[in-house]
Amino acid sequence: MKLSPLVKMCVCLVGGAMVELRTVGQVEISEEATLEELKTQVLTLPELQYVCVPTPAFLRVWQLEGQRLTRILRGQHHTLKKLKLSSGVEFCVQQLLREEDLGPKEVLLRVQMGVPGERGYYPPEDLVWDASRDPSPRSLRSALASTYGLSPDSLLLAKHQPHTHTWETFSNWSQQVSKRKKKKKAESLLGAPFHLKDGDIIGVKNLLIDNNRDFSTQQDEQRLREEKEQRRKGGQGVGAEVETNRGVGPEKKMGPIKTRKTEVALSINVGVFR
């Protein structure tokens, strides 16, 4: 009988509101094991004994990329192989107060309401948005209006871009004209240019009491200044390197050296949100 390949996972703990991982152990599990079985085995780690959950459905498993939460693994009975776990991926686990079984087009968003008169936001809250029927900005605005008890027309929404420290505002106009079909179709937030996914931060402005349409914060501006300074210093370094290498003939030029990627075991960081 042929045995299923084992997947070795590095299990880590998340502390506080930020995603700061600390290794707490390792588990080995078959790639044919289900997501539910993975959750169950993770809970057997000694340092996670304090995590009390009635069933594995009270745990949320996130995929991490660059220390950022990017995707929630869905389907309790899907195998790790079907979930396309590849070498080098990382994960963390979040404890929930109630059972969760997200559908393929249910998106978990981190929503934060702007503080009127300030360039800041109240603490973020989780919102599960069902985009299966209507993925338009109007649908998301209606869902948030219901959450906050406000009129949809009074809300202005924007998505935070953590890599550029900027905000993209959602248009109130939810229809666009297709040049080919010559008919109107609903704009989808799941597609370009927003590509909403699990863990995205959505800023909300209540225009009834906050007329500031600028979503940027002082932290955003500080990060932009720091990156600009780093690019300036980096440009100086590149210029010095070019000056040093002057006089080298064409015969001395070398193309980029291709190196073969080393094979590594599947590493999964699992964090617990408090």
- Domain end position, chosen among 144, 174, 206: 206
Q: With 80 as the cut, is the pLDDT of residue 218 above it?
A: yes
**Alpha-carbon distance 67 to 90, whole Å?**
9
- Inform me whether the pLDDT recorded for 110 exceeds 70: yes
> Longest Cα pair distance anywhere in the chain, in angstroms?
71
CA distances in angstroms from 172 to 169, 176, 220, 260, listed in the order given: 9, 12, 24, 49
In a domain, 243, yes or no: no
Rounded to two decimals, the pTM is: 0.76
Do the domain assignments include residue 241? no
Q: Which residue has the higher pLDDT, 205 or 51?
A: 205
Domain interval for residue 44: 6-95
Instruction: Check whether residue 177 and residue 123 sit in a common domain.
Output: yes
In this structure, the answer to whether residues 91 and 11 fall within a common structural domain is yes
Q: Is the dihedral of CA 115, 118, 123, 126 positive or negative?
A: positive
Domain match, 78 and 111 both: no
In a domain, 270, yes or no: no
3-state secondary structure string across 120-175: CECCCEEEEEECCCCCCHHHHHHHHHHHHCCCHHHEEEEEEECCCCEEEECCCCCE
Is 169 a member of any domain?
yes
Number of domains present in the structure of the chain: 2
Q: What is the pLDDT of residue 47?
A: 78
Given a contact cutoff of 8 angstroms between Cβ atoms, the answer to whether 67 and 46 are in contact is no
Pick from 156, 253, 267: nearest CA to 204: 156
| Omega before residue 5 within 30° of 0, cis | no
State whether the Cα torsion 28-31-33-34 is positive or negative: positive
Structure tokens at 79: 């195998």
Gap between the Cα atoms of 268 and 116, Å rounded: 41
Final residue of a domain: which of 153, 178, 206? 206
Q: Is the pLDDT of residue 67 over 80?
A: no
Q: Are 80 and 123 within one domain? A: no
* Whether residues 140 and 188 fall in one domain: yes
The residue among 95, 125, 146 that closes a domain is 95
C-alpha to C-alpha distance for 123 and 110, rounded to whole angstroms: 10
Determine, yes or no, domain membership for 18.
yes
Answer yes or no: is 238 within a domain: no
| pLDDT tens, position by position, 227-270 | 999 988 887 665 555 455 555 444 444 455 444 444 334 445 55
Please name every residue paired with 107 in a beta bridge, in sequence order, or none if there are none: 129
Please compute the mean of the pLDDT values over residues 221-226 and round it to a whole number. Answer: 94
Label residue 70 by pLDDT band (50, 70, 90).
confident
Q: Which residue from 100, 21, 96 is spatially nearest to 65, judged by alpha carbons?
A: 21
Q: Do 120 and 171 belong to one domain?
A: yes
Residue 245 in any domain: the answer is no
Q: Are residues 48 and 129 in the same domain?
A: no
Report the amino acid identity of residue 146: S
Q: Based on the domain organization, do 133 and 200 belong to the same domain?
A: yes
pLDDT number for residue 176: 47
14 beta partners: 21
Do 118 and 176 fall into the same domain? yes
CATH number at residue 167: 3.10.20.90
Report d(CA 69, CA 90) in Å as an integer.
10
Q: How many residues does the chain have?
A: 274
**First vs last Cα of the chain: how many Å apart?**
43
Same domain, 91 and 133: no
Q: What is the mean pLDDT of the chain?
A: 80
Phi, psi of 73 (to 5 degrees): -75, 130
| 118 and 177 part of one domain | yes
Q: What percent of the chain shows pLDDT beyond 70?
A: 70
Do 84 and 14 reside in the same domain of the chain? yes
Residue 50 lies in a domain: yes
pLDDT digits (tens, 9 = 90+) for 140-186: 999 999 999 999 999 999 999 999 999 999 987 544 444 555 555 66
